[in-house]
Each structure stands twice: as structure tokens, then as C-alpha cells.
Amino acid sequence: MEITTEMIKELRAATNAGILDCRKALTEADGDFKKAVDYLREKGVATAAKRADRQASNGTVELYSHGSGRVGVMVEVNCETDFVARSEAFRQFAHELALQIAASAPKYVTDTEIPEAELQHEAEIAKNRAIEEGKPEAVAGKIVEGRLNKFKDEVCLLRQAYIRDETLTIEKLLHSTIASTGENVVIRRFQRWELGEGLGE
């Protein structure tokens, strides 16, 4: 199948990948747009792994205010060069992260940041629930594991489903940004404030 410039443009707009990468993806997928997107995503994961050890000390601090100042978000995203830090794709990614944090209120960037005590507390709650529901001891372990995973998916930014596309996680979005910018990109830290938060405690 002939790969047209129009097809490459469309794939590039959807994925932010380079022209040559888009051409190769469409060729590999025999012109199938969905398969080409999947190909680029998989390549993004591989590219992300290769770039993970490169120093990322440039970047941006994105500020976002939502609901007429009811929720405020600050997120620091790093990359390797000032050139990428100023690029549209990188800035858009930082903005999308701020929107995600405002909407989904994660507590951590990755699941490795969750304190052991918090995980044990959640495991205890899950175990007690399983017992209350009358689940047999043999099954309770699996139920606890499943509920802990669900808890991690809710509180960890990288594990959350992307608010604009539920089929994508933020980690996959990060990998596609790494692939499209050609640099290591790191979500360093974030803070989310909500008006009146903690006042009733």
C-alpha cells in the first residue's frame, strides 16, 4: 500500500512522532492507522527505556488554576535540553499533566513513593473487607492484591488512566513524549491544592 504524505501528517498530528518514524510505522502496519499508532507506542516504550539514564536537568514548572481558583496545581517536568523545554510538544505534555493532577488528585508520581505503612493500612482494609464479604481465606490474598493494585492506580500519577483517553496511562503518555522529543523526560514532583482543604480536619 502506498504511504501518502497526508497519512504521515495525520499520524504525526496524533502521536507527535517524527516524520521518518511515522513513515516507518505506516509501512510496518501496511497503512493501517491504528496499528501504526500501536507500533509507535511500543517503540516509545523501548525508546524510553534507552533514554532513562540520561541526565534531565532542564524543563519547566507548569502552573494551572482550575474552577476559578478552586484548585491549583504546580508540576515540575524535566528534560535534557533547553531546546526541548521550549518545544510545543514538551510544554503541551506538562500542561496535560497539570490538568490530570487537577482532575484526578494523585498523591504520588510512582508507586515506589508510597510509604510502606500506607500500603499495609490499605492491605488491612482490603483483607477485612474480604473477610466481611465472606470470601474464603484462599481467595482473600488475591483480593487484597487486586485491591492494592487498584489503590496504586488511583493514587500514582504514572498509573492513572489519562483523562482524555482512558485506554492510555500517564506512563504511556510519558513514553510517547520521550519518543517524540528524543530526550529523557522526567516528572520530578507536583503539588495540588484545593480551596478549604484540611480545614474541617
Please state the domain extents for the chain: 5-51, 58-110+156-194, 115-153
Whose grid coordinates read 502521536? 15
Give the residue ranges of the chain where pLDDT is below 50: none
pTM over 0.85? The answer is no
How many alpha carbons fall within 13 Å on the CB side of residue 160? 21
Q: What is the dotted CATH code of the domain comprising 58-110+156-194? A: 3.30.479.20
- Measured in degrees and rounded to the nearest 5, phi and psi for residue 47 equal -65, -40
23 CB contacts (<8 Å, ≥6 apart)? 3, 8
3-class SS at 16? coil
Helix crossing, 5-15 with 19-28: angle to 10°? 110
Per residue in 47-67, pLDDT (tens digit) is: 555 666 667 779 999 999 988
Per DSSP, 156 falls in state B
pLDDT at 49: 59
pLDDT at 201: 53
Which helix (DSSP H) or strand (DSSP E) does residue 51 occupy? helix 33-51
Pick the CATH number of 115-153 from 1.10.286, 2.120.10, 3.30.70, 1.10.30: 1.10.286
Q: What pairing do the DSSP bridges indicate for beta strands 71-79 and 58-66? A: antiparallel
pLDDT at 75: 97
pLDDT at 115: 94
Fold category of 5-51 in CATH: Helicase, Ruva Protein; domain 3 (1.10.8)
Distance (Å, whole) CA 72 – CA 64: 6
pLDDT at 52: 62
Amino acid found at 123: A
